[in-house]
Structures are given as structure tokens and as C-alpha cells.
Structure 1
Amino acid sequence: MSQNTDHLIEKQLDSETVYEGSFITVTVQTVELPNGKLAKRDVVLHPGAVTVLAITADDKILLVNQFRKATNRLLIETPAGKLEPGEDPLTSAKRELEEETGYQAAEWKHFSSFYTSPGFADELMHSYIATDLTKSQQNLDDDEFLDVLHVSAEEAEQMVQDGRIADAKTIALIYWWLRERAREGK
């Protein structure tokens, strides 16, 4: 079903950088709306990121528990990280899995790419399913502190239900995993 959507497009007229950080840039953009009126849009420019649902041979997933200053709380998440400039997402996913969990995977499947907060940010996150894991060496960044958790399907579902897992990318991947397990009769 193809239809013309040109009547929905906002035309950017101007962009002012108001902040440049170590990996994000914040801009205020002036746009012309489809009705001809002008509006301002605050936009966070982000290099993109990856996340990995790593499934062990005993059918558990690897999650990380770490403090996230933006939320001012500990969050349980799938291993994740930002893309380096020009980096291939799969290369980044492999690096992040090993750095954060100390595991490597022989099998990789791209799950989905999605915008994390399209109302104000252009961050595109690439998610992967990793299987056939082998223990390697955890190699955290100097400013990274986390615990690795091995979680069963039942535990993961309960953690989402009771709010211990409140991260959207992690919830999406867990529910995909639960659906796949149900299809397989597990």
C-alpha cells in the first residue's frame, strides 16, 4: 500500500547547535510545518547504538545491572553501547557483548533497528540476537561499573512485570525471546 506522504513532511529552514558533548550534539531547528507555519524543534544528534540479547546454552539471557545517571537509578539492561564513528553495527555489538559480559558469540542475527526516542533524538539502535556463547574476558571501560546477570525466561518476564526491568530496548528483546520460546514449545 503506497501513498504520497509529502503532505506530512516538515522542511528544515535553519539549525543552531546549542551544545556539543563528548558524543551528542543538541540543536534547535526551525522548520516549516505542512500548513506553512514555522515551529522550533529541539533535536539531539546521536551516533547510533547497539544492543545484544545474548542467549546461553542453558537458555538464559545475559543482562547487565548498572547505574544510569539520567534516571538516577540502577537499570537492568541488555548489553549495549554507542557506535564509534563509521563503525559497522555488528562489529560494535560484538565488542560491547565481550566488553560488558566477558562472552563472545559464534552466531549473530540482526533483530531490528529502531529509533529510541524519535520525538527529540535521531539515535538509531541496532539490536542483535547472539547465541553459541563462549566465555572470554570482560573488559569494561574505565568509567563503566556493572554486574552481569544470567536470567531465565520466567525471571526475565517477572522482572519486567514488577518493574525491575524498566528499559524499553530490554523489554522489547525479552518479549521477542519469550514469543520465540513459546513458538518452539519451551
Structure 2
Amino acid sequence: MKSYEEKTIATNSIYEGKIISLQVDDVELPDGNHAKRELVKHPGAVALIPITDEGKIIVVKQYRKAIERAIVEIPAGRIEPNEDPKLTAIRELEEETGYGTHDITYLQSFATSPGFADEIIHLYVAKDLYKIEDPAEGDEDEFIERLEVSIEEAEKMVATGEIYDAKTAFAILYVKHQLNM
């Protein structure tokens, strides 16, 4: 079996930020040649598909500076150091939707942009939701609008580009085909 592994020869740290860091690695390729890889290091995140008793998906609309527009997404957030991803999902559900859950299930994990970033998102589905009287507040620099949409409405949002990110498009497909909604 052919090996595709690239061996790291040296790492040069370029930037250490609050959320990400950037490094340039010198690597040896499988054929013995050398190359540089620009890498974004990320602590990982969770995303969740909150489903109401009426079968609606709770999503949030927010502005994303990196793409200079507002998009509709499933709730998501960064994992804090040493935090269990399931606890991150429960925290993000409360902060972004004002709901708690009696039924949260891990679905799977996936890489968001493996060509240059090591970010892994852990995806959960949350059912049996309940409204929290005084929910924890979200990030002070996060301005979001909560929406409840049917799977059909969510599919239309993918088609029109309102839902534009991969994690949410993946979640909509998952709900439709795996949860048969």
C-alpha cells in the first residue's frame, strides 16, 4: 500500500490568536521532495441540530465577517480548553437558542477544511427541548436572530444561499435522509 504521509521537518509559528494560530510547516513528501504547508490550528468546535416537538429545526442568522454577509446556520461554537464536546453543545444550545435538552445524541465528527485547517466539528442532534427561563448569554460580540424552520424551508435556504456553510448544509442532508424528516 502506498504511503501518502507528509513528514514534518520544521514548524514555524506565525501567529497565536484567541481562536486560531497559524504555522508554516516544512514537509518531506512521499517522493522525497520538500514543500511548505500553511496551517491553521483550531481547538475544535461543536454544532447541533435542535429539533422542536413540532419537527422544526432551530437555526440562527448572523453576520460572518469572513464572507461579508449574514447567513443562516445551525447553532455552533468553539470547544473551550479541556471541555467535553457534549457539554459545549449543551452550552451553545442554551446561549444561542435559549433552550435546554433532555435528549442530546452525538452523530459524528468531520473536518471543515482539511486542506489548510485542523478544525474538527462534532455534530449532535438535540430533541426533547425545553425553554430556559433565564438562559446564559452568548458572546458579547455575537448578534444572532433565532428561527425555526421545517426541513423543506431549510432545503430552500440551501438552494437560495441563505444557508451557505458546509456544516449546516450537511446537517440538513443528515436530518432529511438519516432522521427521515
Q: 3-state SS of the aligned residue for 1:177?
A: helix
Q: 3-state SS of the aligned residue for 1:125?
A: strand
Q: Does 1:141 align with 2:139?
A: yes
Q: 3-state SS of the aligned residue for 2:81?
A: coil
2:50: which partner in 1? 54
Q: Does 1:166 align with 2:157?
A: no
TM-score by structure 1 length? 0.93
2:81: which partner in 1? 85
Give the AA of the match of 1:25: S
Asked if structure 2 preserves the Cα contact closer than 8 Å seen for 1:156 and 1:174, the reply is yes
1:106: which partner in 2? 102
Inter-partner Cα distance in structure 2 for 1:115 and 1:145: 26
Q: Could you give the per-residue CA deviations for residues 129-168 of structure 1, whole angstroms, max 9, x where no partner exists?
A: 0000001125221111100000011111111112111110
Inter-partner Cα distance in structure 2 for 1:129 and 1:46: 23
Give the AA of the match of 2:100: Q
Q: Identify which of 44, 51, 57 aligns with 2:40.
A: 44
Q: 3-state SS of the aligned residue for 2:19?
A: coil
Q: Which moved more, 1:133-142 or 1:18-27?
A: 133-142
Inter-partner Cα distance in structure 1 for 2:160 and 2:144: 21
Q: 3-state SS of the aligned residue for 2:32?
A: coil
Q: Size of the alignment, in residue pairs?
A: 179
Asked if structure 2 preserves the Cα contact closer than 8 Å seen for 1:23 and 1:46, the reply is yes
TM-score by structure 2 length? 0.96
- The offset of 1:180, in angstroms, is 3.4
RMSD over equivalenced CA pairs, Å: 1.1
Q: Could you give the per-residue CA deviations for residues 53-93 of structure 1, whole angstroms, max 9, x where no partner exists?
A: 00000000000000011011001000000000111100000
Q: 3-state SS of the aligned residue for 2:59?
A: strand
Asked if structure 2 preserves the Cα contact closer than 8 Å seen for 1:101 and 1:138, the reply is no
Give the AA of the match of 2:157: M
Q: Which moved more, 1:161-170 or 1:50-59?
A: 161-170
Distance 1:125 1:181, change over 3 A: closer
- The offset of 1:127, in angstroms, is 0.5
- Stretches of structure 1 lacking an aligned partner (at least 5 in a row): none
Inter-partner Cα distance in structure 2 for 1:161 and 1:75: 13
1:178: which partner in 2? 176
2:149: which partner in 1? 151
Q: 3-state SS of the aligned residue for 2:169?
A: helix
Q: Identify which of 2, 6, 12 aligns with 2:8.
A: 12
